[in-house]
A and B are shown apart, each in its own frame.
Chain A
């Protein structure tokens, strides 16, 4: 697939006897915003650090920009990175911190880019203030500016809205969406699932160092949207009744006895009456709506049970 720009196959990282990331697979397409979901210590930061080239995988492969590369060093330059706290010198100003990075990148129009970025992240008035007097939110903004310096193709953000006030969260969300519109691929982790759900186009659920599920925003929306769940004697037997008698096309057979109806016009009373009339045995029928949090918890719980 030509538009896959980061390909992760069987990536593993162990620290002594502890496995932080276990045989992870993930394919990231150009222009996506991939939200990494997982509890503290699930392995999100370790995964991001391996993608950023900051830590070395114990095993597995990382391919960047459609090129199989055993040593991806040359491709890392096209990534902007903000992992955990922003790496900044507290005794330098915001401008000086960015200036240092611009020198390291060899940017020809450094001052112009820096001033533009400081404006973008809302720090244009305090560019000359030393970072030691910054709040956590301001440091995060500066960290995002540092990650964006040099116009990267991919942005790796680990908990970027940590410490931001509500207005800051809205501004950073808008910035991420704007950057994404301009073609930037973004890999972002956050504990605030509601916030992720507003921007992500793809979700990767991580639990205890393992990739539990990779799911698109559309699929997730479908899974989380309001549905009627039917527990039947035989799900197959209900299909012709739903299609012919009730004219319901938006449904999904989950397993041999379970069927989900997504049609917003469908009503429980009508479905149950029609199915009974046609001799389809119903064990239960109810409306169900799941939030992203509930979905995440359910998936990690299932993964936990598998581990046990």
Chain B
């Protein structure tokens, strides 16, 4: 397991796409903050959120609740590229005969996804700090404990989404199809459909447990119930999609 992970790390750190994605994300995030500043006064006058007075946690929650989630789109591009480039080059066939390699390669890609999500969050923190200090002259952090809980919760949810995309890539084996499915998921079209279906059935409320819905919802991490629900959704999604991906990979014929 460790050797395959080391191999993936070797690829990860030499992956130009990853650096380009992080740079693009940083640039667009700062630009997005600039655009918020442009419209903040109008929004505030219209009874909207006073973005310039939000602390770091509130600002992060506010931007993450705006769909489509750009972070999910970046995660989709990276995860699909990282997995499919190995699959389509046939490089995996060189080592896939090794003992448990099929299982380890999926777990290794999951860890690499976690590393990318971690870097994406780091970039988010830096770009938000730059954007807020430049355009709002406000770098207040707010409650540190809440901020840490928010970071952990959102990291787990985004990582779970990355595992979902990995699962999609393993099943689809095709870059274009995986990207399309990933974008559909990132745009939360299944979540919207689920909500629409719910409105037809009285008393049914399962869409709140859908991963992307949980991800974009503004959460109160000081509330134990909400924290538990967030963690449960993330962990169940991770376990479910990882299990599907591993099971399929074990049975897959590498033609």
Contact = CB atoms under 8 A, between A and B. Distances in A.
A77 interface: yes
Interface stretch (A1-9, A99-107, A295-303): A99-107
Interface in A66-97: 73-74, 76-77, 79, 81, 83-90, 92, 96-97
A226 B89 CA distance: 48
B196 to A, nearest CB: 37
A88 B93 CA distance: 10
A85 B89 CA distance: 10
B-side interface mostly: helix
Given A76-B97, A104-B7, A54 B89 contact: no
B6 interface: yes
Contacts of B86: 89
A287 interface: no
B90 A87 contact: yes
Interface stretch (B57-65, B152-160, B218-226, B247-255): B247-255
Interface of B: 2-4, 6-7, 10-11, 14, 85-86, 89-101, 251, 253-255
Interface of A: 49, 52-56, 73-74, 76-77, 79, 81, 83-90, 92, 96-97, 99-101, 103-106, 146-147
22 contacts: A49-B255, A53-B96, A53-B97, A54-B255, A73-B97, A76-B97, A76-B98, A83-B93, A87-B90, A88-B90, A89-B86, A89-B91, A90-B89, A97-B91, A99-B10, A100-B10, A100-B11, A103-B10, A104-B3, A104-B6, A104-B95, A104-B101
A54 B253 contact: yes
A103 B95 CA distance: 10
A267 to B, nearest CB: 55
B89 A87 contact: yes
6 A-B pairs with least C-beta separation? A87-B90, A76-B97, A55-B253, A53-B97, A54-B254, A106-B3
Nearest to B105: A104
B100 A87 contact: no
Contacts of A54: 93, 96-97, 253-255
A182 to B, nearest CB: 22
Given A55-B255, A56-B253, A100-B7, A89 B85 contact: yes
A56 B251 contact: yes
B145 to A, nearest CB: 40
A105 B100 contact: no
Contacts of B3: 103-106
Nearest to A102: B7
Contact of A101 (B2, B89, B94, B100): B94
A103 B254 contact: no
Contact of B91 (A53, A73, A87, A147): A87
Interface centre among A85, A92, A97, A100 (most CB of B within 10 A): A100
Contacts of B4: 104
Contact of B95 (A74, A90, A92, A101): A101
B6 to A, nearest CB: 5
Nearest to A99: B10
Contacts of B95: 101, 104-105
Contact of A104 (B85, B98, B251, B253): B98
A87 to B, nearest CB: 3
